[in-house]
């Protein structure tokens, strides 16, 4: 990778690992939810996927904000509990930066380039 010959393969490998980590994190989060919350999420997903968002009892934005807040809390708890979890969460952050940088370069988005750098 350091010679530049396997850079794209190594980057692809990092992207694959980065796509698997949120799945594990979400699975851990869903295991901690109560039955009522899990059913509300399933209903929101089903209605949103079928394009009937106006039929949801709880607004979709509210449900997603709750899910995001709980994921952030889970990440903070994992960082406090385990150094390995902290490492993987930092890895996910850095891969996001790499993806943003590549996107900025390919689309000539100067603002995204500056914010990424």
Do residues 100 and 111 both lie within one domain? yes
Confidence of residue 53 (pLDDT cuts 50, 70, 90): low
Is residue 70 located within the same domain as residue 41? yes
pLDDT band per the 50, 70, 90 thresholds, residue 6: confident
Instruction: Tell me, yes or no, whether 94 and 70 share the same domain.
Output: no
What is the span of the domain harbouring residue 107? Answer: 1-32+82-117
Q: Are 20 and 46 part of one and the same domain? A: no
CA distance 69 to 79: 15
What global pTM score does this model have?
0.73
Q: How high does pLDDT run on average in the chain?
A: 85
Q: What is the pLDDT of residue 58?
A: 59
- What is the model's pLDDT at position 99? 95
Give how far the C-alpha of residue 33 lies from the chain's centroid of Cα atoms, to the nearest Å. 18
How many domains does the chain contain in total? Answer: 2
| CB distance 95 to 18 below 8 Å | yes
- The answer to whether residues 70 and 44 belong to one domain is yes
Helices (H), the chain: 7-32, 35-49, 60-81, 83-107, 110-116
Q: Compute the distance between CA of residue 21 and CA of residue 27 in angstroms, rounded to an integer.
A: 10
pLDDT class for 9, splitting at 50, 70, 90? Answer: confident
97 pLDDT exceeds 80? yes
Q: Give the per-residue pLDDT at 33.
A: 79
Same structural domain for residues 86 and 64? no
- The CA R_g of the chain, rounded to the nearest whole Å, is 18
């Amino acid at each position: 990778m350091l010679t530049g010959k396997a850079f794209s393969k190594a980057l692809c490998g990092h992207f694959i690992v980065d796509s698997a980590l949120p799945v594990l994190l979400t699975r851990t989060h869903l295991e901690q939810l109560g039955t009522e919350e899990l059913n509300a999420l399933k209903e929101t997903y089903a209605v949103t996927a079928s394009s009937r968002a106006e039929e949801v009892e709880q607004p979709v934005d509210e449900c997603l904000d709750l899910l995001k807040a709980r994921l952030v809390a889970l990440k903070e708890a994992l960082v406090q509990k385990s150094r390995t979890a902290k490492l993987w969460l930092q890895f996910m952050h850095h891969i996001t930066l790499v993806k943003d940088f590549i996107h900025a370069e390919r689309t000539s988005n100067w603002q995204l380039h500056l914010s990424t750098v």
